[in-house]
Structure 1
Amino acid sequence: MPELPEVENVRRSLSQLVVGKTITHVGTDWEKILVGGQDLFDDALSGKTIKRIDRRGKYLLLRVEQQLTVVSHLRMEGKYQLVPSADTPKHRFVHVWFDFSDGSQLRYLDMRKFGRMQLCETGTVAQHVAGIAKMGPEPTAADFDAAAFYQTLKKHKKPIKSVILDQSVVAGVGNIYADETLWRAKINPEQPACTLLRQEAERLHDQIIAVLAESIALGGTSVHTFVDANGNPGGYQERLAVYGRAGQPCLVCQTPIVKIKVGQRGTHYCPHCQPLRKRKLS
């Protein structure tokens, strides 16, 4: 699933391609992707111009004139692509398309058809999209408070990895970046969140901000099929220290990276650099 850095790079690339374009028609061959149906989208968006594209966590927010917002979640495999003409042959995974007045067409591709788009009045998105209503702070120095993060961790007995995957705790962290930030912070993914020391929580907080920012700058991580709206893959996969490296030596201590399951999620860590302790140190 695209995580925050990947969605941010889709936002940036898509903004360059479609902001200022006027929609003339919305089509689909898999109506379930469009919450409320094709007619709702076509009637509401035809004749409207895309003003900007924002992001909240892993959600794309396409802001359209007259205070309309298309909330788009890519889920596992969703991608956007702009083609110069509606006559361009469609890939079999194209399931939604937006025709523009200049003849070009924005296409949404989704092999698994898990992605969803929801139409809301701008300013009421959180009232209609539960995932956004409950979402925690963005992982930036301005929004993500270290002290508040530590207090939140003290309330959870679950493994720390499961907690930072909870989008109500911090927005946008998924499986890849959870593994990477925990390795950088030298914290075992199974460590109960409530047992973290303040300095450990602060270290993890800082690494969440740093790792996601680095990945955004490199275009995200392409370990599966991710590409941005221009078709460009990310580059952060070249920096992965533990994710996808089971059996390979740790970049710090040379101990083989181990893969386990935490909360049903494949999890990579270094048993030497990230030792598990059951109790909080006195």
Structure 2
Amino acid sequence: MTRTPTPFERIALDRPEGRLSVVTAGEHGAPVVLLSGAGQDNALLSWRHLLPVLAAEHRVFAPDWPKQGHSRPWNGLADHAALTDVVTHVLDRFGLDRVALVGLSQGGALALSYAIDHPERVERLVAMAPAGVIAFPPGVHQLLWLTARSRFLNRTLPERMFRTREGVERFVRRALFAGPVADLESVVDEVMEEVRVSGVGSSDWQNASIGPWRMRVDLRPRLGEISCPTLFIQGDKDVGVRPARTVEAARRVPGARLELLEGNGHWLNRQSPDRVNALVREFLAESGT
């Protein structure tokens, strides 16, 4: 499907820690903030297909998380508290009292958390394969905790994996997708560019969110506090966030709706953009958001 490119503007916001880059598009309509994932991701990488669809009816804001994309250099830890502050800064900087939040993976966790802690600022919520609702069995958890603290496991090995185009393609096929992707070559090119600029490895949020005995970011006990209309979207072949975790999370949110996409992996908004775009657009339109 051929899409006409949507003009967007990239605005740099000065923060004490560094530069926060925000992609904006759309001139009219209720505001939507798009929160991308961790690792080798950025605003345009995740939202390349959704952003122009929403910009036809909304004002759209998509920040590069600190240490990703154009939000560099950045001094300091970009953990859960810091990223929550980033969301607040974006809302305040652009004068957005209430918004729809759409988040993927790490961004899904931040969207859920923000709706819990700042319900007065979230009109509607979409969480795609969200982190922050995951637990691991003993042994596996401790191994992941050690991995987060080992430069060899967290940086050196990924650097070797991402050294070649074949390695990058192998990773996205196995870890992020679960079937054919129409623009796979473009995805690989974009991931390689993010690797070139930002390096590889887990994000500060990922590393800081796992403690030695349990997850430091575990939103499950508080999901029942979410009061806005909520849509969960999950790939049924996701190996990063197991579908059962998202199903359980959706059951905890009052009145939440769940869409399980067959044959999709973790990065479902890049694997099946037309399907995901339609779900998000229709959900946001239900109340004129």
TM norm structure 2: 0.24
Structure with greater proportional helix content: 2
Structure with greater proportional strand content: 1
